[in-house]
Amino acid sequence: MDLEVMNGLLRPKSIAVIGASNTEGKIGYSVVRSLIEGGYEGPVYPINPKSNEIQGFKAYKSVLDVPGEIDAAAIVVPAKFVPQVTRECGEKGVKGLIVIASGFSEIGRADLETQTVEIAHEYGMRVLGPNIVGILSNSDKCNASFAPFLPLPGKAALVSQSGALFIAMDASTYIRRVGFDKMISIGNMSDVNFGDTVSWLDQDESTGCISLYIEGLKDGRRFMENALTASKPIIALKSGTSAHGAAAAASHTGSLAGSGKVYDAAFEQAGVVRASDLNNLFDRTLAMSLQPPMQGDSLLIVTNGGGVGVLATDSAERYGIPLRFAPEDVQAELRKYMPEFGSARNPVDLTGMAGRDWYQVSVQYSFAHDWVDGLVVLYCETAMTDPQDIAEGIKAAVDGSGVTDKPIAVSFVGGERSEAAMRWLVENGIPAYNEPDTAVNAMASLREYARNQNAAQSFVRNEDVDEAAARAVIANVRSEGDRAMTEIESKAIFEAYGLPVAHTRLATTEDEAVAKAVAANGPVVLKIVSPDILHKSDAGGVKVNVEGEEAVRKYFREILANAKAYKPDADIHGIAVQEMAPWGTEVILGSVNDATFGPAVMFGLGGIFVEILKDVTFRVAPVSPEQSLKMLSDINGAPILEGARGETPKDRKALAEVLSRYSQMIDDLGDEILETDANPVIVYDEGDGVCIVDARIILKAE
């Protein structure tokens, strides 16, 4: 990132408005008006071929006529003129273009967009947009947009792909009391994308937390890298679905990827916290912009009402931070500040008798206690207490505790006095909400952030793989035209990556099949091998538990006959002789090549769990064995592998290593492979390993 150029674009010290107008109602009028009303202190240069003066500023026919330097140019001329004015900006030495104009790729004119970016890059300029509202920065008093005003000042930053939502969110900051320093409308993302803005905001001293409204990312991998390296919390509201429509998917795994599962995984892997809707984005942003992450799981709730305490307890469980009873020393101390009928366990119920003093001492003591990782303080408005007094007590307690590395969130339930007290709390750096559930959810976002940060793992490549051998198999398949890869070929690639496949060899004659079955030293499975028959069982092309020469000969002939009857013109390579894998727990591994994030690996329990319950989890590849272990715990059926109901635990360690290698395979070969399935994979008891029984690779179309 060229910081000077990005600073010029997003914190411009001088601005030209190309297409500035004196005609009220035009966007070129509004942008100049916004700069004036926002209090922008740098020079403003309106550009208009017909006017000498625009809204009190001297106007110029072209940027080339402007005497001073120009950091950013807001472009509000019709799209067809944009490439030409871009060149003029380049000649002038402008750093960044804020292309507000619409009429580009969103209506099929990607050519105009590409042309604009190419010209801009020739001159080292960056392009924000097109099809955007503009940029807002409170610390620069800069409203270079057609949004009517700067947002409520604060520490958050918003990057929005939707223009309308950008304007709406700007206005709602005043009602919701969530403060933003910067808002960036990102539109078509022809050049500057989410990853760029995240990196830039990360180094921006006025930004404390980065909120994103995302419809679709363009370069998912780069976004992940930028997000992962950012030191500030990032929270994303993602709308829409991924390009992998379930119906279009070729493999089992593809159909399970469905809408957004890979996005979910990618955000988690990149340490990005999610918001479920607009309300949630605001609520979580408020907490993230004011409070530090919650580094452990011990959440303490202090309340004056049992009802809100129970509601918050339910919420805590729902959002993944279930309450635990406070240790004895904490309980003993807190019991001093409540009547006998109070409770010091957790939630700490100070009872309706609690006034400012009890709140203040309990909050100060518990916030400073080592056991407490985060505090939620609840208050129900009572006749005996003044909400403002309670609010000031809480604030005094936080200050008095000296704690700055733990989060606190508050919820007051009551009327106007409570609303006013919460507003005061927010202005004093303590997030406050009128629902206990919202306060707990906000706290959970701070916990999720800390967890994601700690879970970030770097992948160490397995060096004992033979990528060249895998690519040779692919090249051989490709050399035979547009045909599917057989199980034997798929397994050869798996083996090149050190994956434990069930020993499977091709027999082209009956005698060969007998010899291979004898070598297997036990019962075998016979399967048809043909690129034209992928659903082998449907074609009568599979026989399990085949033992003895006679049976091998009989079923060899039978399978061939079935296959020929099923598809007379099928290209039959022969019959696979595979050792029978002993019974164990069935799981499925798979992969898709996501349009946004590239290769992503999937894990789930096999059989009914995958067919009906779709109990699967995804990660963008590659994943380390540690992250793979986390995947095994992610699914609802996780206890089955962990040894539920007295069963011996399964070999999760071996499975995690296999998953990690698998992810390396699909990542290395991501330019060739579209989707894969390893189904079933049998997992044995702890220490006994894993066996991939069937394998399928679907190549990308050439």
Residues at the interface with ligand ACO (CB under 6 A): 18-19, 21-23, 26-28, 47-51, 76-78, 81, 85, 100-103, 131-133, 163-164
Cis amide leading into 649 (omega within 30): no
CB of residue 107 to ligand ACO, shortest distance in Å = 10
- Reference 619, options 603, 641, 639; nearest CA is 603
CB of residue 169 to ligand ACO, shortest distance in Å = 12
DSSP 13-24: SSEEEET--SST
Contact 423, 387 (CB under 8 A): no
User: Which tokens is 402 given?
Assistant: 């000296």
Question: Phi/psi of residue 600, each to 5°?
Answer: -135, 140
Q: Indicate the residue among 31 and 430 with the shorter CB distance to ligand ACO.
A: 31
Q: Indicate the residue among 107 and 460 with the shorter CB distance to ligand ACO.
A: 107
If DSSP codes are grouped into helix, strand and coil, which group holds residue 146?
Answer: coil
Q: Indicate the residue among 21 and 438 with the shorter CB distance to ligand ACO.
A: 21
C-alpha–C-alpha distance, residues 557 and 543, integer Å: 11
Q: Indicate the residue among 172 and 382 with the shorter CB distance to ligand ACO.
A: 172
Q: Indicate the residue among 162 and 255 with the shorter CB distance to ligand ACO.
A: 162
Q: Indicate the residue among 31 and 477 with the shorter CB distance to ligand ACO.
A: 31
CB of residue 82 to ligand ACO, shortest distance in Å = 8
If one counts every other C-beta atom within 10 angstroms of the C-beta of residue 428, the result is 15
For the chain, what percentages of helix, strand and coil (3-state, to nearest 5) are there?
A: 40, 20, 35
Q: Indicate the residue among 54 and 470 with the shorter CB distance to ligand ACO.
A: 54
The residue type of 146 is F
CB of residue 267 to ligand ACO, shortest distance in Å = 25
Q: Indicate the residue among 100 and 330 with the shorter CB distance to ligand ACO.
A: 100
DSSP 491-513: HHHHHHTT--BPPEEEESSHHHH
Q: Indicate the residue among 55 and 663 with the shorter CB distance to ligand ACO.
A: 55
Q: Indicate the residue among 103 and 414 with the shorter CB distance to ligand ACO.
A: 103
Q: Indicate the residue among 48 and 445 with the shorter CB distance to ligand ACO.
A: 48
CB of residue 90 to ligand ACO, shortest distance in Å = 14
Contact 8, 72 (CB under 8 A): yes
CB of residue 61 to ligand ACO, shortest distance in Å = 8
C-alpha–C-alpha distance, residues 628 and 52, integer Å: 65
Contact 580, 524 (CB under 8 A): yes
- Reference 596, options 311, 270, 377, 344; nearest CA is 270
CB of residue 688 to ligand ACO, shortest distance in Å = 59
CB of residue 127 to ligand ACO, shortest distance in Å = 14
If one counts every other C-beta atom within 10 angstroms of the C-beta of residue 479, the result is 8
CB of residue 49 to ligand ACO, shortest distance in Å = 5
User: Which tokens is 15 given?
Assistant: 């601005």
C-alpha–C-alpha distance, residues 466 and 185, integer Å: 46
Q: Is the dihedral of CA 22, 25, 28, 29 positive or negative?
A: positive
Strands ordered across the beta sheet of 273-275: 142-145, 134-137, 180-185, 156-160, 209-214, 234-238, 273-275
CB of residue 170 to ligand ACO, shortest distance in Å = 11
Q: Indicate the residue among 103 and 400 with the shorter CB distance to ligand ACO.
A: 103
CB of residue 54 to ligand ACO, shortest distance in Å = 8
Cα angle value 534/539/541 (rounded, 5°): 85
- Reference 528, options 597, 479, 578, 490; nearest CA is 578
C-alpha–C-alpha distance, residues 696 and 254, integer Å: 12
Q: Indicate the residue among 100 and 183 with the shorter CB distance to ligand ACO.
A: 100
Contact 181, 157 (CB under 8 A): yes
Three-state SS for 437-489 is HHHHHHHHHHHHHHHHHHHCCCCCCCCCCCHHHHHHHHHHHHHCCCCCCCHHH
If DSSP codes are grouped into helix, strand and coil, which group holds residue 374?
Answer: strand
Contact 589, 603 (CB under 8 A): yes
C-alpha–C-alpha distance, residues 528 and 442, integer Å: 56
CB of residue 34 to ligand ACO, shortest distance in Å = 13
Q: Indicate the residue among 76 and 601 with the shorter CB distance to ligand ACO.
A: 76
Cα Rg, the chain, nearest whole Å: 31
Q: Indicate the residue among 21 and 676 with the shorter CB distance to ligand ACO.
A: 21
CB of residue 119 to ligand ACO, shortest distance in Å = 14
Q: Indicate the residue among 130 and 680 with the shorter CB distance to ligand ACO.
A: 130
CB of residue 92 to ligand ACO, shortest distance in Å = 13
Residue nearest to ligand ACO (CB): 163
CB of residue 502 to ligand ACO, shortest distance in Å = 56
CB of residue 75 to ligand ACO, shortest distance in Å = 7
Cis amide leading into 347 (omega within 30): yes
CB of residue 99 to ligand ACO, shortest distance in Å = 9
Q: Indicate the residue among 197 and 530 with the shorter CB distance to ligand ACO.
A: 197
If DSSP codes are grouped into helix, strand and coil, which group holds residue 382?
Answer: coil
C-alpha–C-alpha distance, residues 130 and 18, integer Å: 14
- Reference 312, options 438, 450, 447; nearest CA is 438
Alpha-helical runs (H) found in 612-676: 625-634, 638-642, 652-668
